[in-house]
Amino acid sequence: MAQQNQASSGVPLLDVNRDNAPHREEFIEALTEVLDSGRFLFGPDVTELEAELAGYCQVPNVVGCASGSDALLLSLLALNIGPGDEVIVPSFTFFASVSCVTRLGATPVFADICPDTFNVDPASVESLITSKTKAIIPVHLFGQCAQIDRICQIASGHDIPVVEDAAQAIGAAYHSRPAGSWGTVGCFSFYPTKNLGGMGDGGMMTSNDAAFADRLRLFAGHGMRPRYYHKVVGINSRLDTFQAAVLRVKLRHLGEAIEGRSTVAARYDRLLTENGMVDNGQITLPVRDPNAFHVWNQYAIRVADGRRDDLRSYLAERKIGSEIYYPIPMHQQECFEGMEFRHNGLAETERASQEVLNLPVFPSLTEAEQLRVIDAIASFYSASAKVAA
Ligand SMILES: *Cc1c(COP(=O)(O)O)cnc(C)c1O
């Protein structure tokens, strides 16, 4: 009986409502203020949020925009990237890290990843640099910084700008220095599943360079300055006041949210190890780079022996949420069919896309729920062991 109850209750991959519930009154108050002000764009919350995030990310300049995807596109626009230019980027990432390059007619060049952290391999980046390289986009995947110190060092040796894709990594740090404060520009997303998630779309760019940040703002506002005088061909990309109001509330609780995620991650590490699934090589735990402060936007395990998809189906049958970030590397996407991409081997990228499995992780996930996830994984392996015997 007990087992049946457990099986039927399931575990969600993410529960945004449960995470938001304790802050409901704060949200309503903040949103009502915006409603009553009538300033749905360019309201005071936008400026306040930018200032608060500048403090949080330890960068002097923050520019809000409509999404993380726009943050990346705006960064490349402001760097004058276009046809004939090459941009080095990992293939094991979300589409937006790459579509910003192809949309501007530039050419993505794909670096492989480190097998332990899933993050871009600095040695691979370095070996791909040519005179055509106009930017490097390291992605801080799953909430852990890439080796951004080495990447920035390599880039500055060649005078190449670094565009940090920090969409999954707000609050993360490398050598205690925050994500988004290392490169020429940092790009963040407020998509609802990100660690600082809005109630809709939103994004921001960070920069230590005031003149470059000003250029980002120019491109985000139709390249218009003053009104109806267009200096460059920009786009329309704004963070609206409702999102800014929501994000200000959530920013106040971001520290606790990250602590909650870290607790969840540490419990998974312990429970998966105690179950013997790590020692016998069936599952590999996510690896923490000792120089990184990980904020656990995702908890990504590797599943050995080609069993990832079977395990995922088994969990789905038991209503245990999981996801594959990402099943198809960018160089193999249908939209790029027929395109020849330069790279120097993407074996680790392709292996990761076959083996990675992302387990439920959010601040309010309970230990009881995590035990259900672990029990389901353990029973998958014991069931298959019986079949084999
Ligand atoms: C979410 C994400 C983006 C895009 O952000 P949006 O706000 O959804 O446009 C870009 N890069 C990475 C790595 C992401 O995870």
DSSP 205-261: EEES-HHHHHHHHHHHBTTBSSTT-BSS---B----HHHHHHHHHHHHTHHHHHHHH
CA-202 nearest atom, ligand 1: 7
Measured from the CB, is residue 357 less than 6 Å from ligand 1?
no
- pLDDT higher than 50, residue 7: no
Using the atom order of ligand 1, give the atom closest to the CA of residue 190.
Answer: 7
Query: How many separate helices (H) and strands (E) can be counted in the chain?
Result: 14, 13
Residue 32's CB: how many other CB atoms inside 10 A? 11
Q: Is 103 exposed, middle or buried (0-12, 13-18, 19+ CB in 10 A)?
A: middle
DSSP labels, 7-61: HHH-B-S--HHHHHGGGHHHHHHHHHHHHHH---SS-HHHHHHHHHHHHHHT-SE
Residue 9 pLDDT level (bands cut at 50, 70, 90) = confident
Ligand 1 proximity of 155 Cβ (cutoff 6 Å): no
The mean per-residue pLDDT over the stretch 7-13 comes to 81
What atom of ligand 1 comes closest to residue 72's alpha carbon? 10
- Please tell me if the CB atom of residue 99 comes closer than 6 angstroms to any atom of ligand 1: no
Which atom from ligand 1 is nearest to the alpha carbon of 194? 1
Question: Where does the pLDDT of residue 8 fall: very low under 50, low under 70, confident under 90, or very high at 90 and above?
Answer: low
Q: In whole numbers, what is the pLDDT of the chain averaged over residues?
A: 96
CB 35 within 8 A of CB 189: no
Cα(18) to centroid(ligand 1), Å: 23
* Ligand 1 site, residue 167, Cβ cutoff 6 A: yes
| Tokens standing for residue 89 | 């980027």
Residues 177-197 have a mean pLDDT of 98
193, pLDDT greater than 90: yes
Span between the terminal Cα atoms of the chain, in Å: 28
Confidence of residue 385 (pLDDT cuts 50, 70, 90): confident
Q: What is the pLDDT of residues 95-134, one digit of tens each?
A: 999 999 999 999 999 999 999 999 999 999 999 999 999 9
> With a 6 A CB cut-off, is 203 part of the ligand 1 pocket?
yes
388, pLDDT greater than 80? no
Taking phi over 0 as left and psi of -120 to 50 as alpha, with beta for the rest, 129 belongs to beta
**Contact assessment for residue 142 and residue 93, using Cβ atoms and an 8 Å cutoff:** no
Q: What is the predicted pLDDT for the residue at 387?
A: 66
> Two tokens at 104?
């501007």
CA distance 139 to 197: 18
Annotated active-site residue 386? The verdict is no
Whether residue 2 is predicted with pLDDT greater than 90 in this model: the reply is no
What domains are defined for the chain?
2-12+254-388 (3.90.1150.10), 19-252 (3.40.640.10)
The residue type at 178: P
Stretch (H or E) spanning 278: none
The verdict on pTM exceeding 0.85 is yes
Query: Closest by alpha carbon to 136, among 94, 205, 182?
Result: 182
Output the CA 286–ligand 1 centroid distance in Å: 21
Q: Which of 181, 256, 261, 202 is nearest to 49 (CA)?
A: 202
At 13-69, the pLDDT tens digits run 999 999 999 999 999 999 999 999 999 999 999 999 999 999 999 999 999 999 999
Helix %, strand %, coil % for the chain, to 5?
45, 15, 40
Residue pair 39/33 in contact by the 8 Å Cβ criterion? no
The rounded Å distance from CA 181 to ligand 1 centre is: 18
pLDDT of amino acid 6: 45
Q: Is 298 in the pocket of ligand 1 (CB under 6 A)?
A: no
Backbone φ and ψ for 185, nearest 5 degrees, come out as: -155, 145
Query: If we measure between CA atoms, which residue out of 327, 334, 319 comes closest to residue 373?
Result: 319
* CA-proximal residue: ligand 1, atom 1 (nearest): 167
Q: Which residues of 5-30 are buried (b: 16+ CB within 10 A; e: fewer)?
A: ebbeebbebbbeeebbeeeeebbeeb
Answer yes or no: are the C-beta atoms of 363 and 260 closer than 8 Å: yes
